[in-house]
Amino acid sequence: MEKTKTKKTYFYRDALNDDFAKLQIKPIEINENFKYQHNKIYWFFAFAIRIIIIPILYCVSKIIYATSVKNKKVLKKIKNKGYFIYSNHTSAFDPINHACIVNPTKYSAIIASLDSFSIKGLGGLVHLIGAIPVPQNLKMYKNFFGILKYHIQKKRKVIVYPEAHIWPYYYDIRPFKSVSFRYPCELDTPILVATTIYKKRKILHTPKMVIILNEPLYPNKDLPLKQQIQDLRNRTYDLMKSNVSHYGTYRYYSYENLNKIN
């Protein structure tokens, strides 16, 4: 772990559920009538907007975060497949980085919270560039899972943040649930673990972002579904922890567990 005088300290009690995104947004409400699939006109505009905006966001990512990717060669192994990307969540800009920097020519669908769709005037654009809202009830799950299957069959990538909540510039891997690993197990689809770490920059005070890619992981079909899901979750978590330990990461902000202090 690279040590430095940190700029800010965050205090937390629950590593699984505490969120430091501070968007101050009242989430919209959606129900089973939400339209996950769309007609050809929608997809035409979606791809047209992406052609314009992806190069711009790519440049922004490079300038603001100096984002780089290690071990890009593993992308060749899933070049002609749909797959899931699983990453830790340390910035509101994460979806942009993973969509625009990791294999930018492949369409990205991004599983996102309702906060992402609740920004006034931007909710529609967020949806157009690939964001998919997490279902709010079991009735919505069928259509939600249907659009995931559609993207995988189209050989696209689906981006997932199992930590669910944003901890800015966090330097370790937080515990996360196994629920989102049901998708690749049910679709028998590979996942690409993309671990974000940070490195100190000489010029700007904010650190640069490095995304570490690992060999694709596949569900273990010899196990029952429930065990497949937990096994894939565990292997993903272990890889992320290993990457942070091996490559090291810059401690820009500090995080203190109040349960240990009190």
List the one residue out of 147, 171, 182, 194 whose CA is nearest residue 249.
171
Residue at 199: amino acid letter:
K
pLDDT at 222: 96
Compute mean pLDDT per 10 residues along the chain, 262 residues long, and list them: 66 92 66 77 81 85 89 93 95 84 87 67 62 85 92 95 94 96 97 95 86 96 97 98 93 91 65
pLDDT at 155: 95
- Please give the backbone phi and psi of residue 84, each rounded to the nearest 5 degrees, phi first: -105, 145
Residue at 51: amino acid letter:
I
Q: What structural domains does the chain harbor?
A: 9-261 (3.40.1130)
Longest dimension (CA), the chain: 57
Strands (E), 135-224: 157-160, 191-199, 208-213
pLDDT at 6: 57
List the one residue out of 188, 242, 189 whose CA is nearest residue 214.
242
Contact 253, 11 (CB under 8 A): no
Task: Give me the residue label for tokens 């690279």.
Answer: 2
pTM: 0.90
Rounded-to-integer distance, Cα 163 and Cα 167, Å: 9
List the one residue out of 26, 33, 225 whose CA is nearest residue 135.
33
DSSP three-state, residue 52: helix
Contact 114, 164 (CB under 8 A): no
What is the number of other CB atoms lying within 10 angstroms of the CB of residue 182?
A: 18
